[in-house]
Amino acid sequence: MGGLLSYLPCKDVGPLRPTTGCTRPDGKAWADVVVKIGGSACTKKATFETLNDVALSAICGQLATLPKEGFSLAVVHGAGSFGHQHAKEYGVSKGAEKAMALSERLREGFAKTRLSVTTLNKHVITALLKEGLPAVSMSPCPFVETSAKKLVGGRLAPSTVDGTRGLLGRGFVPVVHGDAVLDESQGVAILSGDVWMVELCRELGAKSAVFVTDVDGVFTKPPWESGAQLVPEILVDPSGELELKGVSMDTASHDVTGGLKAKLESAAAVLIGAPSVQAVYIVKSGSNAAAQARLNVLPEGVLGTREVFIHEIAE
């Protein structure tokens, strides 16, 4: 049975722009759905720079039917086994003490990380094109910068938003990825694909967000371990903290973007920060749940996790 994850609203959700402009001139969303192909759904995370061809092909095949059914989409993908190892080894996420004083080693690590993530991006674009989707890469660096690891100004720059909408308005499928980017405070940093999920959902007026993984939703512990159960509900208290009793938050040693807890917080941030989003789905690549979630549906009895936002809570 699918799990239903509910969220209590946080009081401090950061600066919000007016939602005007998040729809096309005809009132439709710029993108009906924003899909995050997680690192585990496009790579074999335990093996350095190795594609998960089966999972990637499966989700691309499912996404390819959306335009034929009248839905527009934008795609984000994680790095998986491409990028994380270099970023960890060279300390790219930590950056330097001074923005303009990068060590030779840090510059090398930054360059290797970018080469790795853009190589994966080429594979993802190729897989989408193979299925007939007019996918166009949007590589963040050097056009999207951070300051102390946060987006400058807390939001995507208007030029980035306009460019994304321009692609969608012409019938393309924009594809963005987690990346090594320039940082005003520490020289360089890592900008996670999960941040892009929040921003694109908000700026494109998406009705739903889908996080595609290699498992059937959120479990109390790795689903291959004995006793693992699909989590029926997760709450976010007014301070923004996730209530995750009994859920293992172990993070792979090479994952520099924060692991499961960070990803669940990003899913909650989508619901809080993107008023147009009705639900967030966490599903397995190629599954029936993935096929249904892309249409903003997760029927009873289908394995998967659906997150919904409770808009009104008594003080």
Query: In the numeric block, which tokens belong to residue 204?
Result: 């494109």
Q: Is residue 246 part of a domain?
A: yes
CATH assignment of the domain containing 218: 3.40.1160.10
β-pairing, 3-7 vs 208-213, is: unpaired
Q: Is residue 17 part of a domain?
A: no
Alpha-carbon torsion (164, 268, 273, 6), positive or negative = positive
Q: Is residue 185 part of a domain?
A: yes
Residue ranges at the known binding site:
36-40, 79-80, 84, 193, 214, 259, 263
Helix (H, G, I), strand (E, B) or coil at 179: strand
Tens of pLDDT, residue by residue, the chain (315 residues): 233 333 333 333 334 334 446 899 999 999 999 999 999 899 998 999 999 999 999 999 999 999 999 999 999 999 999 999 999 999 999 999 999 999 999 999 999 999 999 999 999 999 999 999 999 999 999 999 999 999 999 999 999 999 999 999 999 999 999 999 999 999 999 999 989 999 999 999 999 999 998 887 777 777 778 888 877 656 655 445 566 656 655 544 444 444 566 667 777 888 788 889 888 888 888 888 788 777 776 555 455 555 555 443 333
| Helix and strand numbers, DSSP H then E, in the chain | 7, 14
Strand order in the sheet with 179-183: 150-151, 146-147, 179-183, 187-191
Residue ranges at the known binding site for substrate:
79, 84, 193
Residue with tokens 């939703």: 217
Q: Is residue 231 part of a domain?
A: yes
Domain that holds residue 153: 33-314
pTM of the entire predicted model: 0.84
Query: In the numeric block, which tokens belong to residue 126?
Result: 């190729």
Task: Say how far apart CA 169 and CA 171 lie, in whole Å.
Answer: 6
Burial class (CB in 10 A: 0-12, 13-18, 19+), 288: middle
- Position 249 scores a pLDDT of 57
Amino acid at 302: V
8 Å CB contact between 207 and 220: no
Q: Is residue 163 part of a domain?
A: yes
Q: Is residue 21 part of a domain?
A: no
- Position 311 scores a pLDDT of 41
Burial class (CB in 10 A: 0-12, 13-18, 19+), 105: exposed
β-pairing, 242-243 vs 235-236, is: antiparallel
Q: Is residue 253 part of a domain?
A: yes
Residue ranges at the known binding site for ATP:
36-40, 80, 214, 259, 263
Domain count, the chain: 1
Query: In the numeric block, which tokens belong to residue 22?
Result: 């998040």
Q: Is residue 190 part of a domain?
A: yes
Query: In the numeric block, which tokens belong to residue 116?
Result: 């790795």
CB atoms within 10 A of CB 209: 28
